[in-house]
Amino acid sequence: MGERGQASHSNNDERAAAHARLFCPMLMRTVLRWLAWLGVPLCHRGDVAGQIWLIAWQSWPSFDPKRGRPERWLNSIAVHVASHYHRCAQRRKEELVDRIDVLDPAPDAAAVMESDEIRAGTIDAVNELDPDLRFVLVAHDLDGIPMAQVADDAGLPLSTLYRRRTKAIGALRDIIALRGTMADGSPPDDDRFHLG
């Protein structure tokens, strides 16, 4: 065997040894560690490592063991692929869900007008109440004053105020029901509202 044959045989042995060192499970874990150091997120490391191994396999025929260790060669591929990943990640825009149209939480004009009408109608109905009934309803239910304090301020027993409040709520329901039937144009159901 000539000098040239020995060099070729030696080179093939070195490539075989490099191949054995390079494509082993331990080095696969090392590539994942390199990617962690290079800032590739865990969720993308497997894909990026796959690209590294694919490039290494495709460019293996051009690998020359005389130029350096196989781990160093693989590391340079990893650095290149990670760099490419980061450049693309800056331009990448992922949408994980379809765009969601958020409804405007503010009520529309019709809802505001209806709410204002209801409020004005309720205030008018409260104003139609007997003054004693109106006093307890406004003080407790609208102004939020505790019943005990309303009783102390009015100089009345608490039980009297609770009875007046119950009467006020009933009378308020009747007034609102009467207004509703008058607005509909239908006659009231209750005999109390019949005239004559």
Q: Which of 38, 36, 41 is nearest to 92 (CA)?
A: 41
At position 23, the amino acid (one-letter code) is F
CATH class held by domain 109-193: mainly alpha
CATH class held by domain 9-91: mainly alpha
What's the rounded Cα separation, in Å, for the pair 45 and 119?
Answer: 61
Per-residue confidence in pLDDT tens, the chain, 196 aa: 555 555 556 667 787 887 777 777 788 888 989 999 999 999 899 899 989 988 988 888 888 878 888 888 889 999 999 999 988 877 666 555 666 666 666 667 777 777 778 778 878 888 888 888 888 888 888 888 898 898 898 898 989 989 999 998 898 888 888 877 776 665 555 544 443 3
What's the rounded Cα separation, in Å, for the pair 116 and 120?
Answer: 6
Map out the domains of the chain as residue ranges: 9-91, 109-193
